[in-house]
Structure 1
């Protein structure tokens, strides 16, 4: 037991002192800080005027352009200001003046209207130098829709109150319910959005924590074999204690990094400008179900121990770090498959693929966590998924331990199953 704790302590201290660990942690923390503050940073680079200036000519269907200008001038928050240009007597001349307005920085773009008898409303084209201006066209479309209603019903002699009722959008609220119990309660729209964002972020964290930290174990073991340090270590510490000590030590390193990133996230979210932004979006981190945090920790640890035992076994079989990437390819593909199942399954968490993957140990840390966060799986499904995951960890841990005991003593041979079997017979493992 003392040797095991010594390996855990050595792995933890040795990894935390390395420059790669410190630099990587700092870089990711900085990237996370920038990402959290990105909306505020972007807002600081916006022009002080705020509104996008869009040009038009006075002669271009004034029965549409004038009401449209009035709409944007009288509705706050539309973020568009229409700028009129005098009529030049021809379409080519009008467009030339509008293009000159863009060159001079007076407007960002301009609109052209053409008669369309079949549609009953003019065809509108917005032109600008930008490749994509979806927000501008979306706002213009909203204004044009309001003008179109007045344009079409101008002879219907409706009162202002009737027009307002006609233009008022239909309100519909969505709520997720749970039919697994008698309460029938579920998540509101805000809670659903918050849960989806949390699940998306945690799937990325799970992948980085499970896969990257597990790979570090294989890299460290292979490096020790390559430098012949392993020959010294096996004389003082039993191979199995080395393996599980390294796995436990690296799990603590991974958890420490995650705690650092969580603290960085919470500090940045607590900044005044970000608190105001969250309040404007009506987001409250307290709305996340506390059990979701527990499940995130459980699936992180179980997923980590599943992949780390495999990585330790592979690392023990490889004598040169140059060969490690090729030997790790099957495990890499499994981890990536689980990650992509989780990411692309967010749009359909109740699909048969996600349900099936949630019971496959290599994928369940991602798939079952996705189902718990976005749907309401039955309690027995969660228990069964965790039980299968625990059983897989036990079986693969036992097999990996046997491979590790033999693999750390193999030098100069390709890590094939034939050579491994011969070595296990020779060492009576």
Structure 2
């Protein structure tokens, strides 16, 4: 089964907790702190495997969670970092954040890798908090939580040649004739529901991959018919082979067919208008096909002179070999990579930035009689703070005072005993004497 879309959950591993420990060795009085840092959580990494052709595996496994880092150890030993989770995807996979609909990565090359969910950093052990004023701290941090989100995977078939055209114009028949592929062929619309790939041997030592794509109808760019399910695959092809029913067996005008299909391609992605295209006049073994071809050629020369037109009959194979030579010749003149604006290189670059002023700011609002503090940086600090030790709690309170939160609460009218909420935690406001 060909699967070209999937929604999955990914989560980087949590960082390991730092350790509170002290040296307890004979002849080493007042040994001092010896708690090591926790290990980093594993990343979830997508890697392109050219041996894969569909997203079938993601129908049965939808959750991918990397391992968490090990806790810090005694004797100031660092906990082991967790191994990264490698998730293999087929070439042509686009990764989209389900919440923001932003493209995270566009994966096209074999072996290409990109981090989709970063693992959390390990917490610091008490060795890190030793100071001249506090040489034996009982403070250690919890590990950071790993990134998590739902992502949508969309597969855009990687083929040299894409067959486009209205339903029942002979795309599947042509693919079955020129390759070993066995697409479903029937005398009804939308016989082909998913892309079929075939390797075409031209016969002179050259070969290329051809994709028989589901038929287009008017309004496809808006999702009508198979719409977007089909059009996204066209984006990857290097050459478009536009098949026309030149015998007008279904009563449509061949030239209008050509116009409508090209308009749908243009409306979906304006760059497809520039993609090299060969027009194939199929069903030339049928009555009146020659008359329609003459009229078609005249009208096409008026709007797009110089367009290559190859008359064939996929059923009798007449003209098919000439078509293969023309396609192979054209492929040799254009780049091997798909003519799309790739985000792959951007996705592979890591961007390091300082926390913005907005991230460091906080807001205070009233919720009935309670005060609610909202601040990403403080909520992150809370998750890393181990509230089971008094020293950690005091350190957290000192940081809040330095940020000016105590003073801001007083200015908002906070009194002794009133509840202050930060995230899922509740505190009691205590006025210092």
Per the TM superposition, whether the score is higher than 0.5 is no
Greater percentage in helix: 1
TM-score by length of structure 2 reads 0.25
Which one has the bigger strand percentage?
A: 2
Scaled by the length of structure 1, the TM-score of the pair is 0.25
